[in-house]
């Protein structure tokens, strides 16, 4: 696949931009990892899986079907991931930070919008992972978050702060989902 390099430009008035250090960090991540075999393909696969939290909804439904005695915990995974995704979309529309567009950053995947902050993939994956920990009784699902977060930067579609805030929003949504579930 050919990489796309977006032209450098100033952000329109009213748009939030990322600090310059984030562009350097993004370029460094791409420089260190993009040429390693399998990295971009894996990152694209994660991107497609996480699009609109659809992969997490499928995992949730499958878990509920395979473990009917734990259906509620599994459906909470999907509900939490979807709610986290929706929260990220709302925040994006308020903040309106555009995705990275700089000659030093290659874009390796298409996106449904130009808005960047926070990463909805990082948000929904974090919520799903934390709720999967609860559904499975294992800490292993926490290992799902770093690869998804890194993939968003490797693909050139998010700044580090987009991903960090996405993780925070996802954790907040997961905690709220657990509290709400305890009250029902």
pLDDT value at residue 7? 42
pLDDT value at residue 89? 96
pLDDT value at residue 164? 96
Report d(CA 13, CA 20) in Å as an integer: 18
Report d(CA 30, CA 154) in Å as an integer: 5
* CB-CB contact of 124 with 84 (8 Å): yes
Stated pTM of the model: 0.86
pLDDT value at residue 17? 67
pLDDT value at residue 29? 94
Report d(CA 121, CA 106) in Å as an integer: 19
Token representation of residue 45: 């696969």
Task: Going residue by residue through the chain, which has 184 residues, state the pLDDT in tens, using 9 for 90 and above.
Answer: 444 444 444 444 455 666 778 899 999 999 999 889 999 999 999 999 998 889 999 999 999 999 999 999 999 999 999 999 999 999 999 999 999 888 888 898 888 889 999 999 999 999 999 999 999 999 999 999 999 999 999 999 999 999 999 999 999 999 999 999 887 6
Rounded to 5 degrees, what angle do the CA atoms 143, 144, 145 make?
95
Residues 6+ apart with CB under 8 A from 119: 88, 149, 152, 158, 162, 163, 165, 166
SS3 5: strand
3-class DSSP string for 89-155 = HHHHHHHCCECCCCCCCEECCCCCCCECCCCHHHHHHHHHHHHHHHHHCCCHHHHHHHHHHHHHHHC
């Amino acid at each position: 696949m050919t990489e796309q390099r977006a032209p450098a430009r100033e952000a329109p008035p009213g748009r939030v931009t990322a600090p310059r250090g984030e562009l350097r960090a993004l370029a460094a991540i791409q420089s260190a990892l993009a040429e390693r075999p399998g990295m971009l393909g894996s990152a694209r696969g994660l991107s497609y899986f996480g699009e609109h939290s659809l992969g997490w909804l499928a995992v949730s439904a499958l878990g509920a079907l395979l473990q009917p005695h734990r259906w509620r915990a599994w459906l909470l995974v999907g509900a939490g991931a979807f709610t986290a995704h929706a929260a990220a979309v709302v925040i994006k529309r308020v903040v309106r930070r555009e995705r990275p567009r700089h000659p030093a950053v290659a874009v390796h995947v298409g996106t449904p919008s130009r808005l960047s902050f926070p990463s909805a993939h990082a948000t929904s994956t974090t919520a799903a992972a934390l709720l999967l920990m609860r559904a499975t009784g294992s800490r292993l699902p926490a290992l799902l978050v770093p690869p998804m977060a890194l993939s968003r930067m490797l693909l050139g579609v998010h700044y580090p702060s987009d991903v960090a805030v996405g993780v925070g929003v996802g954790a907040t949504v997961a905690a709220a989902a657990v509290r709400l579930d305890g009250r029902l």
